[in-house]
Structure formats: structure tokens, C-alpha cells
């Protein structure tokens, strides 16, 4: 089992004439998450920790803001980031990150500048269209990215999305557990009937990842 590494990522939002758009970055064909479209983010580094008394969430905020600047050229203050969720991968994953997810807003006319080797493309897209592109096989999303975007797709404006994020008093922790099915891999989380030691025999908190379209269920 690989050790957990602390990381942070941020859903950067802007308002457009068509409503809220979020920024997705495409990874290259090699390395971690090859060809996937991701949010800006990366590992916590030594310089992100200012003192031994730092709260983990504050360190993660600084990491998310720093990574956004390094990967997109966009500046956002750590204090302007809303903590939205925490994700942990299945124990079978070869690389395991304890990842803090944030939501933040940048100006509508923000100019994105990608690093030369780490990322190859970017796109501003509505949450609804991002899900549709993935389901049609035109882009590849990782499960945490897919579930996060699906949760934001219920809103139409940046203000609505920020309100959803700001209202989260206790950000959910998605501790993923992989289950093989006849149709392919399924991820389940706490509250699902297939989650280890679950007492909720009727619960559904899962993502089916066989042939597309992927299907996310949350019935607790």
C-alpha cells in the first residue's frame, strides 16, 4: 500500500455570458493521470507550511493557490478559497494522495498561461458541458473530478456555486473503495451498502465506471 501524500486542488470559476465556467487542464500522454483533464493542483511543499501551528486546511489553501499560479498563471488569494471536500483513493492505487478540494473565482477576462511541459491544453467549460464531453468520450476525467463537477452542475452561476461551497460546514471526506462488477470497476464511499463494514444495506453512494456513461448515485 502506497503512503498517502498531502495535496490540494482548486476548481477555478469564472462568469461568462452563458453562466458559470470552470477551468480544466489536460495532462500530457506520460506521467501521472496521463491524458486526463484535471483541476490545477499538486503536492504540498515545504514552503507551503509557515509554522508548526498551521492548520492543515490553511496549508492546503496555500498549496492550491500556489499550484494555480504555477500551472495557469492566475493569482488567487488562499483566503478566497472555499474548502469543498477531501478525497482519498483506494488502497490499491499505486500513488495515493490525500487531496483537499477548494473552489475559487477569478475574473472573467483572466488569461491562462500553461507551463511548457507539465500541461498541454486548457479549456473553460460549463460544468454541464464538461460532464457531457466526458460521457461522450471526448475528454477523460478522473473520478474525483467527475463527481466534483457533477455536484457543481446543479448551479448555473458562479454566485450559486460559491454559495453551495460556502455553505459546506463539514466538507465531505470521500474515502474511496474499489469494487469489481460484471460491468467494470465501481467506486463506493461511506454510506454505500458495498462499503466495508457498512450497516446501511440499502445505501447507494457510488460511481459506476464501466462503459460510458458513468453513473453516480447517492441515496443514503
pLDDT at 93 over 80: no
Q: What pLDDT is recorded for position 92? A: 74
CA distance 160 to 46: 35
pLDDT computed for residue 57 by the predictor: 95
pLDDT tens, residue by residue, 100-110: 999 999 999 99
Q: Angle at the Cα of 209 (from 206 to 213), degrees rounded to 5?
A: 105
Provide, rounded to the nearest whole percent, the portion of the chain with pLDDT above 70: 98
The per-residue pLDDT for range 129-166, each reduced to its tens digit, is: 999 999 999 999 999 999 999 999 999 899 999 999 98
Give residue 91's pLDDT band: very low, low, confident or very high (50, 70, 90): confident
- Grid cell 454505500 is found at 192
DSSP state at residue 47: G
| pLDDT computed for residue 2 by the predictor | 55
Global pTM exceeds 0.85: yes
Q: Which residues pair with 131 in a beta bridge?
A: none
Residue 1 pLDDT > 80, yes or no? no
Instruction: Give the tens place of pLDDT for each residue, 26-68.
Output: 999 887 777 899 999 999 999 999 999 999 999 999 999 999 9
Host H or E run for residue 59:
helix 56-72
Cα–Cα distance, 77 to 56 (Å, whole number): 17
Query: What is the mean pLDDT of the segment spanning 115-131?
Result: 93
Report pLDDT for 90. Answer: 84
Q: Is 34 within 8 Å of 172 (Cβ atoms)? A: no
Tens of pLDDT, residue by residue over 163-210, are 999 888 899 999 999 999 988 899 999 999 999 999 999 999 999 998
What mean pLDDT, rounded, does the chain reach?
A: 93
How high is the pLDDT of residue 198?
93
Q: Which domains does the chain have, with CATH numbers?
A: 4-175 (3.90.79.10), 176-220 (no CATH)
What integer pLDDT is reported at residue 191 of this predicted model?
A: 95
Amino acid at each position: 500500500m502506497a503512503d498517502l501524500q498531502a495535496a490540494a486542488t482548486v476548481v477555478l470559476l469564472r462568469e461568462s455570458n452563458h453562466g458559470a465556467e470552470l477551468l480544466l487542464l489536460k495532462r500530457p500522454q506520460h506521467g501521472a493521470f496521463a491524458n486526463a483533464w484535471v483541476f490545477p493542483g499538486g503536492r504540498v511543499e515545504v514552503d507551503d507550511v509557515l509554522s508548526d501551528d498551521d492548520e492543515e486546511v490553511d496549508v492546503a489553501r496555500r498549496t492550491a493557490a500556489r499550484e494555480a499560479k504555477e500551472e495557469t498563471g492566475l493569482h488567487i488569494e488562499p483566503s478566497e478559497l472555499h474548502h469543498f471536500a477531501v478525497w482519498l483513493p483506494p488502497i490499491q492505487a499505486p500513488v495515493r494522495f490525500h487531496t483537499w478540494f477548494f473552489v475559487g473565482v477569478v475574473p472573467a477576462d483572466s488569461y491562462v498561461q500553461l507551463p511548457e511541459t507539465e500541461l498541454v491544453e486548457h479549456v473553460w467549460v460549463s460544468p454541464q458541458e464538461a460532464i457531457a464531453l466526458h460521457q461522450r468520450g471526448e475528454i477523460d476525467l478522473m473520478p474525483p473530478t467527475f463527481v466534483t463537477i457533477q455536484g457543481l452542475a446543479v448551479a448555473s452561476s458562479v454566485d450559486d456555486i460559491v454559495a453551495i461551497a460556502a455553505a459546506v460546514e463539514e466538507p465531505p471526506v470521500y474515502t474511496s473503495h474499489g469494487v469489481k462488477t460484471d460491468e467494470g470497476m465501481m467506486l463506493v464511499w461511506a454510506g454505500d451498502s458495498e462499503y466495508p463494514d457498512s450497516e446501511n444495506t440499502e445505501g447507494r453512494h457510488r460511481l459506476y465506471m464501466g462503459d460510458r456513461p458513468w453513473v453516480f448515485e447517492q441515496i443514503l
